[in-house]
Amino acid sequence: MSNAPVITMDGPSATGKGTIASLVAKKIGYRLLDSGALYRVLALAACEEGIDLENGAAIARMAPGLKIEFPGNGRVSLGGRDVSGEIRTGAIDESASRVAALSEVRRVLLPVQHGFRSPPGLVAEGRDMGAVVFPGAKYKFFLTASPEIRASRRYRQLLDKGLDARLPDLLRDLRARDRRDEQRSISPLRPAKRAIGIDTSQLTIAQVVDRIMQVMQGRCQGGG
């Protein structure tokens, strides 16, 4: 594995983590790893192949044969097909969280995630980036927000896309996903050692990015 510097950003869904990680990566010229997208693509491929989502061994066997690419601008492709929209549905939210609880799946994705580390550096975003995948990361951030705020952010996003949504359903699903992510035996969602916590409930995306940049000020560009 390369020894390029890594910055990790972990936390539950709808904390703004994905957007924030992407903005920080762009500002400092680092690569971006959206690890959740890997779990989402595996869940989609397993569904399409008719593999039971509890069958970790079968999903792990399928994974190395998949051609997953990130062509830029947050797009994700599977075998050359753009699946960016398909992996962001409510059904895949649920399936990805189930697939992510399987130890065989997490094991097979570990070297894939390490492969993203290359000069000048990597911003890695997910649940266990700082605790498990890149424990030696230079800076580790853990983003949170209250479940109500996160559900209402998701609600607004869906309405903006012209999709139908009910706030109480979103809140219930989000709490269920949090519970599954926090209580699984392997790589549960929790702050890594040395992680700097940021509660984004009352902050804009720009304010969170500023706070992160202040923490790293002058120390992550061109540095080890």
Binding site residues, ligand C5P, CB under 6 A: 13, 35-36, 39-40, 96-97, 100, 126-129, 177, 181
Would you say 88 or 138 has its CB closer to ligand C5P?
88
Would you say 128 or 155 has its CB closer to ligand C5P?
128
Would you say 96 or 145 has its CB closer to ligand C5P?
96
The dihedral sign for the CA sequence 105, 107, 110, 111: negative
CB of 217 to ligand C5P, least distance (A): 27
CB of 218 to ligand C5P, least distance (A): 29
Q: What is the dihedral of CA 16, 18, 24, 28, to 10 degrees?
A: 180
d(CA 63, CA 46): 9
**E runs forming strands in 19-105:** 31-34, 68-72, 75-78, 81-82
CB of 20 to ligand C5P, least distance (A): 12
CB of 89 to ligand C5P, least distance (A): 12
Would you say 179 or 194 has its CB closer to ligand C5P?
179
Residue 72 sits at the vertex; the CA angle it makes with 86 and 165, to the nearest 5 degrees, is: 35
d(CA 12, CA 125): 11
CB of 40 to ligand C5P, least distance (A): 5
CB of 92 to ligand C5P, least distance (A): 8
Would you say 171 or 221 has its CB closer to ligand C5P?
171
Would you say 120 or 188 has its CB closer to ligand C5P?
188
**What stretch of H or E contains 34?**
strand 31-34
Q: How many CB atoms lie within 10 A of CB 105?
A: 25
Which of 93, 101, 96, 99 has its CA nearest to residue 184? 101
- 76 close to 87: Cβ distance less than 8 angstroms: yes
d(CA 132, CA 107): 11
